[in-house]
Amino acid sequence: MIVPSEAAAAGWSPHHLRLHRHLLRQPLLLPPGAPLLLAVSGGQDSMALTALLHDLSRLHHWPLTLWHGDHGWRPESAAQARQLATWAQQRSLAFDLERADPAPAGEAAARQWRYDCLQRLAAARGCRHVVTAHTGSDRAETLLLNLARGSHHRGLASLPALRPLAAPALLVRPLLPFSRQDTARICRELALPIWEDGTNLDARFGRNRIRAEVMPVLEQLHPGAGRRIGALAQRLEEELHDQDELVALALQSLRPPRDPGGRVLLRPGLAQLGRANRRRLLQHWLVAQGAPALTGRNLDDLAARLDRQRGPGQQNLAAGWLLHWDRSTLVLQCPAAPDPGHG
C-alpha cells in the first residue's frame, strides 16, 4: 500500500501530497499501474495536473500519454502545440498531437471533437482512463450555467469525478478538490510553462462570461463562493448516487413481467407517484436506457402529462428517440437504424 509518508520522503510539495491523499481515498479514480491518457491544453490546469501525475507516477506506476488537440482557431496554436510537444519530449513523456480539420464551428463542437479523439486514441492504446484537468472552479461555473439553463438536479451535479465514455473507457477528473487559484500556485512553485489560449477571454463563449463577469461578483459578495458552489455540486452528485440505488429498485416494480429490454413502464403505477418522484424515475429510466436526458422544464411537462386523468400521448426526444403512452403502458422507442439498402 502507498502511504503519504512515502510521498513526503520524496520531497514533494503539499500539492503533491494533497492529490496523493485524494487518490488514496478514491482508489477507483486512478488505480496503481493503470495506463493514463491525459488531455493537455497547455493551460495552467492541465500543466499542473501533468506535473503532479508525472511526479506521483513513481509511486503509483502509471504509464502516462499526453494528448493535445489543436482546434485551429488561433494563428499561434500550431507553434504552441509544437512547443508543448518539445516540453513533453524533454521529460520523456509520450505525446500525441491532433489538429482539427476543419476547425470546429463552436464550443460544443470543439468539446465533442476532443472527446471523440480521446476515445479513439484510448481504444487504440488499450487505455481505460482518460484524464482531464477540470477543477472545482470549472465545476462551480458549470453548475451556474446549467442552473441558468433550467437543468434537472442531475445537470446541477456537474462534472462528476468519474463517468463512462465509450466502453470500456472512463473519464476521470482528479483535480476537482483543487481550484483555479491552486493550479496557478502549482505552476508558479514548480516553474511550469503555460501556453495561454486567447479564446478563454472570448466573451462569445458562455463559460468565459461566467468566469470573468459572474464569479468575481459572487466572490465579492460572499468570499469563497466558488469553493462552496463546487462543494454543492459534489454533494448533489453523492446524493444522486444514493437516490439512484433506490430509484433502480422502484423501477423494477413498474416494469411488466415480459419486457427484457426495460423500455416499457406500467403507467398506472407511475401515475400514483407524486410528480417529484415521477420526474426522478423518468429521468433515471431515460438515462439508463441511453436516451437523452430531459431539461427540467421538459421533465416537468412530461410528468404532468402522465397524470392519471390525462389520456394517451407521445413526446419526441432528442436524437430521434420517441416516448409514447396509452392508459396502461409507457413505451420508449430508440431511433430507427438506417436502412442498409438506401444511401
Shared-domain flag, residues 192 and 128: yes
- Confidence label for 146 from pLDDT (cuts 50, 70 and 90): confident
Q: What is the pLDDT of residues 272-308, one digit of tens each?
A: 999 889 988 998 899 888 888 888 888 899 999 999 8
Does 251 map to a domain?
no
Q: Do 126 and 65 touch, CB atoms closer than 8 A?
A: no
Shared-domain flag, residues 69 and 180: yes
Number of domains in the chain: 2
More confident residue, 168 or 61: 61
Percent of the chain with pLDDT over 70: 93
Does 236 map to a domain?
no
pLDDT average, residue stretch 164-174 = 91
Asked which of 230, 250, 279 is the last residue of a domain, the reply is 230
Q: What is the pLDDT of residues 236-259, one digit of tens each?
A: 888 877 888 888 889 989 999 887
| Contacts of 45 by beta carbon, 8 Å cutoff, 6+ apart | 133, 134, 135, 138, 175, 180, 183
| Contacts of 329 by beta carbon, 8 Å cutoff, 6+ apart | 256, 264, 265, 266, 267
Does 339 map to a domain?
yes
Q: Is the pTM of this model over 0.85?
A: no
Does pLDDT of 117 surpass 50? yes
CATH assignment of the domain containing 208: 3.40.50.620
Q: Do 261 and 227 touch, CB atoms closer than 8 A?
A: no
pLDDT average, residue stretch 323-336 = 91
Asked which of 230, 245, 278 is the last residue of a domain, the reply is 230
Q: What residue numbers bound the domain in which 275 lies?
A: 258-343
Shared-domain flag, residues 332 and 196: no
Does pLDDT of 89 surpass 80? yes
Asked which of 214, 230, 246 is the last residue of a domain, the reply is 230
Shared-domain flag, residues 156 and 207: yes
Per the structure block, which three cell numbers stand in for 254?
Answer: 413498474
When the pLDDT of each residue in the chain is averaged and rounded to a whole number, the result is 88
Does pLDDT of 1 surpass 50? no
CATH assignment of the domain containing 322: 3.30.465.60
Shared-domain flag, residues 188 and 100: yes
* Residue in 175, 154, 142, 179 with CA at minimum distance from that of residue 26: 175
- Cα angle 39, 42, 43; round to 5: 105
pLDDT at position 343: 39
Does 239 map to a domain?
no
CA distance 53 to 173: 12
pLDDT at position 197: 77
